[in-house]
């Protein structure tokens, strides 16, 4: 698969997943899964982190919309699998723990601690992959 096509797929997937995560948090809050103060603390924690990823992806997608895909190298399957696994694990783990808190399976302090761990551990790797995939002139860094 060519880098540009993969970037678009991953980029749109990340944008949609983060939108759905935000919607899920709002719905859980409206249904009583979070108090008002918990909801605000959760947003204060997640919005700045997500803004970094999302702004980088949107910038790439808007700048590369007229780029010829033939300028991009082909990605190897190992890189594709690793990228999909890391990004999917990262997003899925956020959903799982938000829902665990919303359904009173874990406390809010535990949720915040877990999210900090997830953002640190997966976020570092997801951030590296996102930066690698969505940086300018990506055709020179296509494989591990």
Give mean pLDDT, residues 26-46.
96
Amino acid 98: pLDDT: 97
Task: With H, G, I as helix, E, B as strand and everything else as coil, classify residue 2.
Answer: strand
Of 124, 114, 99, residue with least CA distance to 27? 99
Give mean pLDDT, residues 111-127.
85
- With 0-12 / 13-18 / 19 or more C-beta atoms within 10 angstroms meaning exposed / middle / buried, residue 93 is middle
Residue with the larger pLDDT of the pair 70 and 129: 129
Determine the Cα–Cα distance for residues 135 and 56; give it in Å rounded to an integer: 8
Residue with the larger pLDDT of the pair 3 and 140: 3
Amino acid 132: pLDDT: 75
* Contact indicator for 34, 52 with CB cutoff of 8 Å: no
């Amino acid at each position: 698969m060519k880098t540009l096509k993969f970037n678009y797929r991953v980029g749109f997937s990340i944008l949609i997943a983060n939108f759905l995560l935000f919607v899920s948090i709002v719905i859980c809050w409206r249904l009583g899964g979070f108090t008002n103060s918990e909801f605000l603390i959760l947003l204060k924690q997640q919005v700045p982190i997500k803004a970094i990823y999302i702004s980088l992806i949107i910038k790439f997608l808007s700048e590369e919309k007229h780029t010829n895909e033939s300028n991009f190298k082909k990605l190897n399957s190992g890189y594709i699998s690793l990228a999909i696994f890391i990004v999917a694990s990262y997003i899925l783990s956020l959903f799982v723990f938000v829902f665990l808190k919303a359904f009173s399976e874990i406390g809010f302090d535990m949720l915040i601690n877990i999210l900090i761990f997830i953002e640190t551990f997966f976020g570092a790797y997801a951030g590296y992959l996102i930066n690698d995939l969505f940086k300018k002139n990506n055709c020179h860094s296509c494989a591990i």
